[in-house]
Homo-oligomer: A and B are copies of this chain.
Amino acid sequence: MTTFHIEFQPIGRHWPCQKGISLLEAAREAGLQLVADCGGAGTCGRCRVKIIEGQVSPPTSEESLLLSAADLDSGVRLACQTRVLGDLVVHIPPQSIVASQRLQITGADEGAIVLDPAVTRRTVELLPPDLSDLRPDWQRLSETLALAPNSCDGRANLAVLREASPSLREHGWKVAVFIRGREIVGVSGPEAPCWGVAVDLGTTKMAGYLMDLTSGEILAADGVMNPQISYGEDVMSRIEYANRAPENATELSKVVVDSLNDRIIQLCERQNGNPASVKEIVIAGNTAMHHLCTGLSVAQLGAAPYVPAISQPIDLLASDLGLKASPGAYAHFLPNIAGFVGGDHVAMILATGLQDLPGPVMGIDIGTNTEVALAHQGQLFTCSCASGPAFEGAHIHHGMRAASGAIERVRLNGSSIEVATIDDVPAVGICGSGILDAVATLVRAGILSAPGRMDQDHPLVREGDHGGLEAPLCAGKEEEIVVTQKDIREIQLAKGAIRTGIESLLQEAGIDFNDLREIIIAGAFGNYIDPASAVAIGLFPPLPLGRFRQVGNSAGAGAKRVLISRAQRAEAARIALKASYLELMSLPHFSQLFAESMFLSPDPIGQR
């Protein structure tokens, strides 16, 4: 079958694909989710791309309806209607890609959410005070809005009280009022936008989404590295750094807030606006990120039994955190479940609808710390697995992050091993999905035994320079990338930790893995792995591959839902309350289960 190469711009991702498939499918295979509200039927017109170079199928009648002649002349096409007929260079505009999470989450795109944001805008015109009506400004405003006269009962929103009187007069008593529950959180000119920002605050990356709270529309999106990474790649090293001195914790909080502010400013600038239009912020992060961003103590997260300072959802004034937004705007933090099962996992559960899916369903968020959730018969079990950074390439002899030149696929071709690298350049290392493939390939080739020992007599195995056995992946190539016996141990520890979590939850729920209707694999790494390889080494239980679903980063999707829907916000709180957290260390058979789980076989449990 003919294979062509596609270069997706401006992301710079190269991907091989079969002749004749649609660009929508090709992009999906390459891990790029395009907006496709109609599911690829050519009716929504949202998956616009531009062909820069190469041969594709001619425009369809659907495209003629949805695209202008000028657009078509300049190479603009709908990805779902356009078939690959040669090597291509394709440009994907941000509008077509940023909302991509919609498609990643079956039955859970934002379109299905009823718009009901925490903050709503009302335009009102007030009678100005005169000698016959001397009501104070705040009372006048509250009464005009038919809010309870005591609507600042409890703590007054000082910033709003301060802006209200001047704003009313500046705008001639006709203003837009931003209302949050019973509280007024902003008084602006009548045309002021009502924007919100949803943030997926990850350990490695942070993504921000600017949304119009009056329409639910995503206006702009942006992602950058979490700058805390320079204080430690994993949360535990950042917790340790924070705990060494109070100013360290302040520093970690400051760098993340500064970076969030940069995001907020840039997102608003793209819409020719500024943060004063941002009336609500929603942040989903793991418990450590949550605590470090809000300035809560992380001392107790750094030592057993690793409890959070707080788990329930919290609303803070954005200004209290130093976040740039409208003066009275709040930042809502999704609830945590446990010290290492945080708001990002809640967001994932929410976005996938895991808790409401029929039949036992498992959700797995693979990272340095891997969270696993199991929904069964109305119950929700969660746990956290200390999987470590091996799947991110750390502690692996030739390990690297998923960047150009990283081996990302490894296949057995007859008796030889074939590899594919990111950007199809000569291999310089191996990333997570590659090392997973590599171990699976070594198992399939009979090089690795179930206990994880390399067969030293196998022709593909040799004694390495560094001491110990190794298997070269691209023997004879310029750069010889090898998998070492020690790498195997690292992967066994990582996959053993995750499988232990999976098995423990199954045991807790009293079901067998065969009962699982689906395993949802979330997170960036999870999006790129080959489930077959994961099954081959026993990272995942040996279910038919059709039962695995890779949804990519869904924490951002969950955060967006919580931003535009109070019902979803309540649902997130309900998920966190409902979730029972299983502390694996407290299980009587933990050690035995963990030892078994390290076996490199699809069904290692009981193999002792």
Contact = CB atoms under 8 A, between A and B. Distances in A.
Nearest to A298: B165
B131 A585 contact: yes
A294 B158 CA distance: 8
A139 B586 contact: no
A165 B305 CA distance: 14
A191 interface: no
Contacts of A138: 309-312
Nearest to A582: B134
A300 B169 contact: yes
B315 A155 contact: yes
Nearest to A308: B136
Contact of A156 (B169, B316, B581): B316
A135 interface: yes
A10 to B, nearest CB: 39
B307 A158 contact: no
Interface stretch (A105-113, A146-154, A362-370, A592-600): A146-154
Contacts of A295: 158, 162
Contacts of A137: 300, 307-310
Contacts of A336: 136
A316 B155 CA distance: 6
A152 B169 CA distance: 35
Contacts of A583: 131, 134
A378 interface: no
Contact of A165 (B130, B132, B135, B297): B297
A317 B155 contact: yes
Contacts of A252: none
A299 interface: yes
A132 B315 CA distance: 29
A139 B310 contact: yes
A338 interface: yes
Contacts of A169: 299-300
Contacts of A315: 154-156
Contacts of A166: 297, 299
A330 B155 contact: yes
Given A297-B166, A299-B169, A312-B138, A307 B161 contact: no
A129 interface: yes
A502 interface: no
A169 to B, nearest CB: 7
A152 B314 contact: yes
Of listed A130, A150, A297, residue having the most chain B CB within 10 A? A297
A164 interface: yes
A136 B314 contact: no
A310 B161 contact: yes
A310 B138 CA distance: 5
A152 B294 contact: no
Contacts of A297: 162, 165-166
A129 B585 CA distance: 14
Contacts of A304: 131
Contact of A129 (B305, B316, B320): B305
A493 to B, nearest CB: 22
Given A169-B299, A169-B300, A297-B165, A312 B134 contact: no
B162 A312 contact: no
Contacts of A309: 136-138, 161, 164-165
A506 to B, nearest CB: 21
Contacts of A139: 310-312
A131 to B, nearest CB: 4
A296 interface: yes
A130 B82 CA distance: 59
Given A312-B138, A315-B155, A586 B132 contact: yes
A154 B154 contact: yes
B131 A307 contact: no
Interface in A330-350: 330, 336, 338-339
Given A155-B315, A156-B316, A300-B165, A136 B307 contact: yes
23 contacts: A129-B307, A131-B304, A134-B305, A134-B338, A134-B581, A134-B583, A136-B309, A136-B311, A137-B300, A137-B307, A150-B312, A152-B310, A152-B312, A152-B314, A158-B294, A158-B295, A158-B316, A158-B320, A162-B295, A162-B296, A164-B309, A165-B300, A166-B297
Identify the 9 closest CB pairs spanning chains A and B, nearest first. Answer: A138-B310, A131-B586, A165-B297, A156-B314, A136-B308, A165-B309, A136-B311, A129-B307, A166-B297
Given A136-B312, A137-B300, A158-B294, 9 more contacts: A134-B338, A137-B308, A139-B310, A152-B310, A154-B154, A154-B315, A161-B310, A162-B297, A165-B296
